Structure 1
Amino acid sequence: MIFVTGGTGLVGSHLLFNLLRSGKQVRALKRSSSNLKLALMTFSYYSDQAEELFQKIDWVEGDILDYHSMEELLAGVTDVYHCAAMVSFHPNDHDSMLNNNVKGTANLIDAAIFNKVKRFCHVSSIAALGHTQDGTEIDEETYWIPSKQKSAYSLSKFFSEMEVWRGIEEGMDAVIVNPSIILGPGNWDIGSPKLFQSIWKGLGYYTKGENGFVDVRDVAEVMTQLMQPETFSQHKNQRFILNAGNMGYQEFFNKIADALQRPRPKTFASDMILQVAWRAARMASFFSGKRPVITKEAVSGSNRINHYNGSKIQRSIAFEYRGLDHTIQDIARLFLKDVELLTPPIKKKKRSTSQS
């Protein structure tokens, strides 16, 4: 029995598809408020038998913040994939995000140890890694250094990963994956999929930062490969950066715009412009009572250059990354298909006639 958290998210839904397609028996955690249609939509992107596969998932209701429910739900489980995490760059969410991501992971680790789970796969992030001082590529040995510039999300992922290492010290076996920016289709209103929607709507700004990117299908494939018993025994208790390549944001935005046949963003958003923008958004939020469109944390580092080395996983298992150009084209195609499905047909106006 395999247990998956975060099954309605970008990574989790793609992972579920891989597992079900391989004939695995899967128990997936959900909240009472979870929207299962998002996971089913992911299945429909890749299979004509999406509904049939989806019905094989054993959805169970629970909360990773409730240790006792985790202990009960992990009974009889051999493999755990921990994909669930809260992602926010809004100041009001800092405490709840730290609590959810860190305490939730700690509860899951303790429940896994109690139930003698054989294999545990934790989805961490490049946000849990450090930065090099000389501009060289960041790898698995580039350790996190405390800094006031670290976002609350970065803190939550670092301390969540520390809970996994703590579990390893207590006798649990695990693998950790640290994906860069994950690209894939899904909920077009949040995360990286929203970039496609924003450029479709006419995003006019770009930044000159650089970062790493990886296809969500590659992340799901690596996770399932690492959890195969023989592979797991060879590579357990290690972390793996998952990064298909490094690219500047301007080039990345341009590729999306070209794939969507939309104008490329033309205005450079300098650090000064970004500072004015998030302050203006905060002021507008104060008067409207709505959450700001952008925040200080969301734009921090937008012009920073970070390069990541994702080659360790290629040296460890039989795996090759998808090219980023191919990934962007695939996502754009699915986005345009969804736009077409959601756009109501234009009704032709009836020609009025008059009699004299």
Structure 2
Amino acid sequence: MKNAYVTGATGCVGRNLVDVLLQAGWSVTVLHRPSSDLSRLDGCDVAFQPVDLHSLESVRNAIPDGVDAVFHPAGNVSHWSAHADQQWKDNVLATRNLVEVALEKQVGRFIFTSTGAVMLYGEVDEATAKNIKQGYIRTKRLSELEVLKGIERGLDAVIMRPIIVVGKYDYNNYSRIFRMIKHDRLRIAMPGKIAFCHAGDVATAHLSAYEKGRCGERYMLAGPYASWRDFFQEAARCMDMDVKIRAVPKPLFALMANAQEFIARFTHKEPELTSDVVFLLQEVPESFFDAQRQSERELGYRSASLRAMIKDCYDWMASDGRI
């Protein structure tokens, strides 16, 4: 039985990954903060190991020698600049510490979950990455560079780059769209198209990366190319709601983001829409996602349809009492 240590197991990709690993017969240890909501793993035959990923010594004490794989999908996905310092610690420092310990403890393979959004800037070096305006993209690229430094020192590692991940166990991200539509708080969508990918298929690709991925490779994980309006409209259909979603110009979303960020200065509550979010939701040409063909060839990666991933997310929310 192979053993895996998994970060971020209470998040969307990590929780789906736990299911995939257990179904494949792996022994799974969940690395978690003491404050993590471990009820999200109820019924899963996993071991729990508390850890402070910001502390190199804590990570050393948490991971034993000779682990087959460390999967690191954990990450701070905030898109608010007020969280920049914490996001650097959660994403870059945590990855640096995990890479260091993986080398020390001779971990068999290290699988890091980045984001396809880093490719909007190309394979930039550290000096350039530090100047990326969007905090999430900036810290994910800097985290990738920590992994690449580890590879130069002998770490066997693979980097995964999912795009817009939709599916069950989405506790905080795109599941909010369903609630906003349900409560009549969302009837407009950004213009343009992007690629979506199914959370379960992304998790399966992570296991494939352990089994078949090439060391140092960066695999894009994309899926159906569709508009945000199509996404929102399909979400409404899943809830049997007869509503009309309209696509509106991007400048309107930018104006809304600026207003919400201004109000947040006084409320100190993270706004639902920020300038970083508007940037991330921009239209991306379909050709941008040609890079995923490598994932298809080498990992056997495939993504479910847009309708299937949206239904999967909604069915889980309904069964879990979240909508």
TM score, norm. by length of structure 1? 0.81
Q: CA deviation at 1:144?
A: 4.4
Distance 2:191 2:322 in 1: 33
Counterpart residue number, 1:32: 34
Q: Distance in 2 between matches of 1:320 and 1:276?
A: 37
Residues 1:191 and 1:170: Cα distance change in structure 2 (over 3 Å) = same
CA gap 1:198/1:118 in 2 versus in 1, 3 angstroms: same
Counterpart contact for 1:209–1:249, Cα < 8 Å: yes
**Gaps in structure 2 of 5+ consecutive residues:** none
Is 1:318 the counterpart of 2:300? The answer is: yes
C-alpha distance in structure 2 between counterparts of 1:110 and 1:330, whole Å: 37
Query: Match of 1:184?
Result: 167
Alignment of 1:109-120 (within 5 A): 109-120=99-110
**Once the two structures are superposed, what CA deviation does each residue of 1:33-64 show, in whole Å capped at 9, x if it has no partner?**
10012233xxxxxxxxxx2xx1x211011111
Distance 1:287 1:223, change over 3 A: closer
Residue 66 in 1 paired to residue 49 in 2? no
- Residue 223 of structure 2 corresponds to 244
Instruction: Give the secondary-structure state (helix, strand or coil) at the position aligned to 2:304.
Output: coil
Distance 1:82 1:302, change over 3 A: closer
Distance 1:97 1:286, change over 3 A: closer
Moved more, 61-70 or 290-299: 290-299
Would you say the 8 A contact 2:229–2:246 is kept in 1? no
Matching residue of 1:260: 239
Which of 332, 335, 345 is 2:317 aligned to?
335
Identical-residue share of aligned pairs (%): 25
Instruction: Work out whether residues 28 and 60 of structure 1, in 8 Å CA contact, stay in contact via their aligned partners in 2.
Output: yes
**SS class of match (1:305):** coil
Give the number of the structure whose alpha-carbon radius of gyration is greater: 1
In the other structure, the counterpart of 2:258 is 279
Count residues in correspondence. 313
SS of residue matched to 2:120: coil
Q: 1:155, CA displacement in angstroms?
A: 0.3
Give the corresponding residue for 1:14.
Answer: 16
Give distance in 2, aligned partners of 1:239 and 1:289: 36
* Paired amino acid for 1:257: A
Q: Cα gap change, 1:172/1:331 in structure 2, threshold over 3 Å: closer, same or farther?
A: same
- Aligned to 2:139, what secondary structure does the other structure show? helix
Distance 1:252 1:306 in 2: 17
Partners of 2:281 and 2:117 in 1: CA distance? 14
Counterparts of 2:322 and 2:302, CA distance in 1: 35
Give yes or no for contact 2:231–2:306 (8 Å, CA) kept in 1: no
d(CA) in 2 for partners of 1:303, 1:226: 29
In 2, Cα distance between the equivalents of 1:66 and 1:74? 13
Report whether the alignment pairs 1:207 with 2:197: no
3-state DSSP of counterpart to 1:129: helix
How far 1:21 moved relative to its partner? Answer: 2.3
What is the letter of the counterpart of residue 84 of structure 2?
A: H
CA-atom RMSD, angstroms?
Answer: 2.2
2:86 corresponds to which of 84, 92, 96: 96
Change (3 A) 1:206 1:3: same
Give CA-to-partner distance per residue, 1:79-136, whole Å, 9 cap, x none. Answer: 11011111101121012102221111011000000111111111111122135xxxxx
What SS class does the counterpart of residue 311 from structure 1 fall into?
A: helix
- TM-score norm. by structure 2 comes to 0.89
- Structure 1 runs (4+) deviating above 6 angstroms are none
Query: 2:276 pairs with 283, 297, 302, which one?
Result: 297
2:207 is aligned with what amino acid? Answer: T
